[in-house]
A and B are shown apart, each in its own frame.
Chain A
Amino acid sequence: MNYSKLTTQSSELTTHRSLKLLFGLLILALPAMLPAHDIITTPVTWDREISRIFYSRCVACHREGGAAFSLTEYRETFPWRTAIKEEILERRMPPWGAVKGFGDFRNDQALTPEQLELVTSWSQGGSPEGEAKDLPAKDKLDEMIKESAWYGPPVHADHLPGELVATGDFKLTKPFVLDGLFPRNVPDDSSAQIIAELPDGRVEPLLWLDQYKQKFAHVFLLRTPLDLPAGTVISGIPAGASMALLPPPKE
């Protein structure tokens, strides 16, 4: 028996099988390779615009050691680009849980229309990285994280200092300076417009809950405290839920 010939035949066979394997794997890998053909149609880049938006609105949770998977780097964010676009357009993320512009909050974490447009443009337009020189300074990251509504331990306190607990149509029996609101037991994904009807006939929009989820519970802190006279009725609180009315913190 000519072992050398057999070895050659075996080698040719192996090569032939390997080529078949190569083509097979290439076909299998083709869908994953399609992003290579993403045409970059946007000038918006991760390094310039998107990283800044993510640092200020997302990475308080989406970071190493945070509550969710990390989105601090381009390589971490790129695979999620389509899901991110859908989540932000649906207002599921960031999980602020309220409609922007109904009430005015100093810890507002909802994306602005401009931020929505930039992230959408980046996601749709090939999600380019840009140049590292455009990245924000790393020392800004900690500063931005601390400004997040979700920085620190979650707020699940049964009682917050000085709070009034409102349920149903709640009438104030004495004047109250409203500095913030904390919803409790609001059914997930419910929508509710909480308003204050003042005795002189004014109606103040306080908070429009939308896609609120208890697991992302947080306080809504008014940008300017609101003087509510006795007789004011707080209404719009969903059945079975309550709303903690928070006074300004004591000096």
Chain B
Amino acid sequence: MRAALLFFILTLVAAAQTPAPLPSQNAGDVYICPMDPDVRSNNPGKCARCGMALVAGLPDPVEYHLDLSIAPRPIKPGQPASLTFAVHDPWKNRTVTNFQLVHEKLFHMFVVSQDLDVFVHNHPTLGSDGNFHYDYVFPKAGMYRVLGDFYPDGATPQLIAKTLIVPGQAPKPVALARDYSPKDAENLQVELVTEPQQPISGAKTQLMFQVKPGDGLEKYLGAWGHMLVASADLIDMIHEHPFIADGGPQIQFNVIFPRAKAYRVWVQFQRKGVVNTAHFDIPVKELGK
């Protein structure tokens, strides 16, 4: 009798360990947002989060190669430098020249300096040689992380980090303290509240922004906002779009901070034709510590 009861309970526990499938997750074609792969539908349409067209049955996620070359060398602070991005396929190393638009651009580039003082979000242009080009003046010596965000035809969107070192005296390592103070940007003020108030590594944090004035907001590059998240050591770099936004003054991003480190987040919102950039510093803790 006891053995039967124990068997019954163990059966219950075993059944409990295996979750039921999401009812619609495999029903026919699945349409996936190339930019936000967790956004899916059983019908074609646009991503509710970023506006990109959903595509049926994305290919396997394969990492492409991004080569970054720069001229002239060595790079000198304060002097113009020409950056060239060449994309190659991972199978035969062929130059890739066909790309899908991602948020109205073929290539998004982020540049962040090691002291987190420099932030650039811009768009290298596709040249006749099949490579992307961008001219930039590195303002100071030190390490820069360069993030390329692009979408080769027939592949999945790519987010690839590269590193450049500008010779000279590098800035001192930065120690980020919590900074949620309201920020005055170009033509609006940005306030931040997070839930939970103390973000925990590996768990979802809601970043709720309030912009003032709340009128005249426009989509910037196809989204109500853009966010770059960088850990102070520049190991983690994450590009996010709003989870909830409707053109009103409240914009919510959801982020999972990977590690118990301090992070700087840059947000960009467009109002009356002007792009506003603001940043906040968020120390992230480990659960229970």
Contact = CB atoms under 8 A, between A and B. Distances in A.
Nearest to A88: B258
Interface in A98-126: 99-104, 108, 112-118, 120-121, 124-126
Interface in B161-208: 161-167, 201-202, 204
A18 B5 contact: yes
Contact of B21 (A91, A102, A116, A130): A130
B128 interface: no
B9 A128 contact: no
B61 interface: yes
Nearest to A128: B21
Contacts of A101: 145, 160-163
Contact of A33 (B13, B20, B21, B163): B13
A45 B25 contact: yes
B22 A43 contact: yes
B281 to A, nearest CB: 20
Interface string B77-107: 0000000000000000000000000000000
A202 B65 contact: no
A43 B167 contact: no
A155 interface: no
Nearest to B8: A22
A44 B9 contact: no
Given A44-B38, A101-B160, A114-B156, A134 B26 contact: yes
A200 B26 contact: no
A180 to B, nearest CB: 17
B159 A114 contact: yes
A192 interface: no
Contacts of A29: 9, 12-13
Contacts of B21: 40, 45, 128-131
A32 interface: yes
Given A43-B38, A114-B156, A120-B256, A33 B30 contact: no
B16 A25 contact: no
Contact of B235 (A35, A91, A204): A91
A143 interface: no
Contacts of B15: 36
Nearest to A110: B63
A142 to B, nearest CB: 17
B30 A43 contact: yes
Contacts of A249: none
B143 to A, nearest CB: 8
Contacts of A131: 21, 26
B37 interface: yes
Interface string B14-34: 011111111001100010100
Contact of A25 (B5, B65, B145): B5
A197 to B, nearest CB: 8
Given A112-B159, A113-B159, A114-B157, A99 B235 contact: yes
A100 to B, nearest CB: 6
Interface string A200-237: 11111100101000000000000110000000000000
B19 A128 contact: yes
Given A29-B12, A134-B26, A223 B65 contact: yes
Contacts of B272: none
A53 B61 contact: yes
B129 interface: no
Nearest to B6: A25
Given A91-B259, A112-B158, A193-B143, 9 more contacts: A14-B1, A21-B5, A42-B38, A43-B32, A49-B61, A89-B258, A90-B259, A108-B63, A114-B156
19 contacts: A21-B2, A25-B5, A25-B6, A33-B16, A36-B17, A38-B19, A42-B38, A43-B32, A49-B37, A78-B17, A78-B18, A104-B65, A104-B162, A113-B159, A124-B256, A126-B19, A128-B25, A201-B74, A205-B164
Interface of B: 1-2, 5-6, 9, 12-13, 15-22, 25-26, 30, 32, 37-38, 40, 60-61, 63, 65, 67, 73-74, 143, 145, 156-167, 201-202, 204, 235, 237-238, 256, 258-259
